[in-house]
Every structure is written in structure tokens, then in C-alpha cells.
Amino acid sequence: MPQQAGARTAESIMSDSERIAKIVDELSQAVAEVLARNEVDREQYREGVQFLARVQAEREIPLLVDLFIEHLVVKAEDKRGRNSSQAIQGPYFIEDVPWVSGALKVSPEDNGEPLMIRGRVTAPNGAPIEGATVHIWHSTPDGAYTGFHKGMSADLYRGRVRSAADGTFQVATTMPVPYTIPDQGPVGGLLSMMGRHCWRPAHVHFKLRADGYRDLTTQSYFAGGKWVDDDCAGGIVDDLIFAPVLEDGKKVLQIDFVLDFARSAAEAA
């Protein structure tokens, strides 16, 4: 009987199992080396377990792993592709947001500084990509994210656009601001014990998708902005820092994206 499209073979499942076992074994070995090198005893180990239990109780597991691990995964993945530099996604992405034309919807009380975002989406060979979906989202002027904080409508400060035939897109919004990650729970307490702050610099999030290409998740940061040289999430690389130009007295952020070709049917969908 022919195998159905999308069905997985025993060989592929075994391959996944072997990969998982390899990664877990290597992680265990790396942790063992750190524990031995720092002479961690059983009492300290139990304190660590209790800390993780508090993290779970406060629903901060995503925050913990995003803060300490996601940027490492992103950097490793970037080394294998021909795409623009990626960045952490963070916990505040919403898939089903409005398609916008011209501008993101902002709060009626928003008196923030206007910002025009312009960009172009291309393939590694420089060819423009038409019809790419570009998700754009950023903080409110108070450093919050709609759909997650303060009961604000999820259609504010976020939306999606499609690239034109020449790969270009543009959308107006207002400037985001620096903000602190949640700092009153166990993760914030851990950062404090480590002598680290809880601030993220002002930034704009992007997630791009196009048929035949790998998804791209990234951020843009603003040159000279506070905390841009000391992001608590370790999410910044130099080519994600941009200096907006002024046009008619308003800031314009020009940011172009390169999407790598898909390597599998699943990535191409």
C-alpha cells in the first residue's frame, strides 16, 4: 500500500530518537562537567530543583529558557543558513493578527514618536520575493505587549503585511520603548543574584514567511538606544542595530531581509 503523504517511516522516527538521545546525553555530560568543576553538592542541587519548581509554579519556564537559551539556538542556526541574521522571538508573538494597510493600529491615547518601517524581502540570489508575509509587532509606549498585558486589544501594535512584486513593504507605527522583563518572580530574582539587570532595549519584532523559503524570525534595534549594548536577553548582534533616518522630520527605519531557500518540503509549505 503506498505511503500517505506526510506519513513518517520507521527509519525517520528512529533517526529522531537517536538524535534526541544524542542531544540529551551531550547535555548531561556538559552539565556534569559544570557541576564537578564548581563542586556543586547535593544540598545545592536540591536548591536548584526547588528553584525550578518555583519557576514552574509562576509559569516562568518560557521566560527562563528564552532568556538563557533561545539566543544560543538562534546563533547556532544562523551559522547554517544564508538568511539575514535572526533574533529571539520571545513569548509575545500572536499568529492571528489583522492584515494592515499603511499603518499598525495604535492606542488612541498614543502620543509616541512616529516611525515608518520600510523594507524589502529577497532571496539569497537577490531576487525579490513577492507575497511574503511579514508579521510586525512591538511594545506599547508603556513597555507592554497587547494581548498579554493590561487587557489591551491584541490588534494594537501588531499586524501583518505582504511584500509587493519588487519585494518591498512599508508600515507606519510609533517608536517602541525599552522595558523590563517580568522581574518580580524567581527568574527576576535569579538575575538579581547574578548581578544582572532585567532591561531589554527598544526593538521591533519581525517574522517572515514565503512559499519555498525558510521562515525568518528577527528583531531590529535602534543605534544609540539605551540598553542596546547590554540586552538582558542576549539577543543583539551588530547587524540588527539600525540608525533610522529622518524624512520630513519623522524617523524612517529601513530594514531589508534575505530569506534562505527551504531545505525540505515541510519548510517550503
Our CA angle for 90, 186, 70, nearest 5°, is 25
Distance CA 183, CA 216 (A): 29
Q: What does the pLDDT read at residue 2?
A: 40
DSSP letter for 86, please. Answer: P
The full set of domains in the chain, from first to last, is 74-268 (2.60.130.10)
3-state secondary structure of 233: coil
CA distances from 105 to 136, 157, 226, 253 (A): 11, 6, 25, 18
CA distances from 141 to 130, 145, 221 (A): 32, 10, 16
The answer to whether the CB of 74 falls within 8 A of the CB of 90 is no
Distance CA 119, CA 117 (A): 7
Task: Write out the chain's pLDDT in tens, 269 residues.
Answer: 444 444 555 555 558 888 899 999 999 999 999 999 999 999 999 999 999 999 999 999 999 998 999 989 988 888 888 999 999 998 899 999 999 999 999 998 888 899 999 999 999 999 999 999 999 999 999 899 998 877 788 899 999 999 999 999 999 999 999 999 888 999 999 999 999 999 999 999 999 999 999 999 999 999 999 999 999 988 788 899 999 999 988 999 999 999 999 876 556 55
Q: What does the pLDDT read at residue 9?
A: 57
